[in-house]
Structure 1
């Protein structure tokens, strides 16, 4: 198989068209078209459906793109590593991170990493959706309790837990009375099961505010408008200072933040450096470490 033709096919697939790939890379559009046609002829397969205005991968084309994209990226990283001595992280590092972690900690992490590795151009996007690492060109993603994915591997580097918090001025509700609540998004009346020092119990909540982010939820709870479920790392400082009180830990699975990447083989120096940096920033991966980092 012609490796150059395969590389050009991946360029076109990644950018979604011959013209876009040509503009992004500076390679002639006619050359890209010819290389892809030669690859299709050699494989005796149609890799793209060519419409009047758009280009779409066939089922066979998508399978080839998914399986060869990582291999070509690893090959490129290997040659770059050899050329640079193999140990100096450099080049672009694209990361996708969840909204709350980005708002509370990622700015500091990114800045400190950039100071330590000035030859790495770090780009961080913030979103909670499960991005497609290969198609969207990410080197690493950070996700909360991710679903199993055979194409990705990684490690949990932080753990957190949810607690119900409120202003000290807000009375804790009795069994038959609902407390005003601040929730993320829209919500109807609900019951939150919590663990207390004595025994498990349930708190009835009547939402009075629906807000888009947990940072907003925390700020509203500080004002005293209602109770909320929040990560302990986000409110540990408020609890220590007495601005908020803890009504109990949510009875449920813990929150784990994972750093995920496509392959362990030939892991780039950039990704390895960032994974090591996360480990150095949170050596034990506890909620207390994250809380201290946020409020440092």
Structure 2
């Protein structure tokens, strides 16, 4: 039995909750994944997982073994990466998922630089606004904003994005521009909605300690993707809050007008999120360092110090 492969397989099965998902993410036959876990259990003389027709759950012994296995694999990857990194550049497949507007506006235009620095990394870029299953889909990391996932993940803060309230000049024909957040209620709003719940996100305004929230009505238009939201604003469909890095070039050209610059909602924080047991993989480490530099360019705070945190804190 290849014990290290068996341990890696057990960890993947435990976190995916499925032999099938683990097999797909590891590019192994399902029968091989099952055999590796069985051999590991036989070697240890204890059952690590309970199998049903629909799911896999860890036993008490499995939970304890899983925690130790994560530390072991992280140390092993660190040891291998340190030695390999001293004599070669990172190479191999790296799967990264990212939202469409961040991919098209920030990441992809800079990828030529990444290829120059890491020519041997086979980057697979998943571009989607859906919520990705890192373990089940074999994804090395995702770049996402908002609330962080559970504490089995780690996260590196990349930047903060600010918002601007804006609309196309054509939309304002015959309408009074807002001079206070309460005035937004008289306007047609282009808003975001959750693809999973259908709920519209409110517009938020903050000035010092004063906070105001406005829930858009049903007379406007809602989208769930940032590029579509910007295009709706440019088309004169209403007023809305867009990311500053997206809207400002259009504001400078006069195709959008900004309102209430003194009333800013809290910034939208972006993180690079990855499973705890996969860092510091040399490929992931290289990509994370590179991405931190790229996203610093759009950081509303112009921060220069990267931050590593646990995803639950």
**TM-score between the two structures when normalised by the length of structure 2:** 0.70
Aligned to 2:192: 184
Q: Which of 2, 17, 20 pairs up with 2:19? A: 17
2:308 aligns with none
Out of 18-27 and 152-161, give the one that drifted further.
18-27
Would you say 1:47 and 2:48 are equivalent positions? yes
> What are structure 1's unaligned runs of at least 5 residues?
290-296
* Cα distance in 1 for residues equivalent to 2:98 and 2:167: 28
What's the CA shift for 1:181? Answer: 1.0
Deviations 1:148-195 (A, max 9, x none): 754444432222111210122313157676101111236679665365
The aligned counterpart of 2:244 is: 232
Aligned in 2, Cα 1:64/1:226: closer, same or farther, shift over 3 Å? Answer: same
Structure 2: give runs of 5+ residues left out of the alignment.
Answer: 303-313
* Structure label with greater radius of gyration: 1
Where does residue 286 of structure 1 map in the other structure?
299
Please say if residues 161 and 255 of structure 1, whose CA atoms lie closer than 8 Å, have aligned partners that are also in contact.
yes
Q: 1:54 deviation in Å?
A: 5.4
In structure 2, the residue matched to 1:223 is 235
Aligned to 1:142: 143
CA shift, 1:255, in A, is 1.5
CA drift at 1:254:
1.3
- Alpha carbons 1:6, 1:39 under 8 Å: kept: yes
Q: Given that residues 146 and 258 in structure 1 are in contact (C-alpha distance below 8 angstroms), is that contact kept between their aligned partners in structure 2?
A: no
Structure 1 183/66 Cα, relative in aligned 2: closer, same or farther at 3 Å? Answer: farther
Aligned-residue RMSD, C-alpha? 4.2
CA distance in 2, matches of 1:65, 1:255: 34
> For 1:95, what is the secondary structure of its paired residue?
strand
1:75 match:
76
Structure 1 counterpart of 2:114: 113
Structure 2: distance between partners of 1:19 and 1:140: 17
Contact map agreement 1:163 1:247 (CA 8 A) in 2? yes
SS of 1:258's partner is strand
- Note if contact 1:70-1:262 (Cα within 8 Å) is conserved in structure 2: no
1:93-138 CA-to-partner distances (Å, cap 9, x unmatched) read 1222234312422322444323432200112223456645445433
Cα distance in 2 for residues equivalent to 1:138 and 1:270: 13
Q: Which has the higher contact order (CA 8 A, sep 6+)?
A: 2
Give SS of 1:180's match. coil
- Trace 1:150-229 onto structure 2 (pairs within 5 A): 150-169=151-170, 170=172, 171=175, 172-173=177-178, 178-185=186-193, 192-193=204-205, 195=207, 206=217, 207-229=219-241
* Matched residue, 2:310: none
Question: Structure 1: how far apart are the matches of 2:54 and 2:67?
Answer: 20
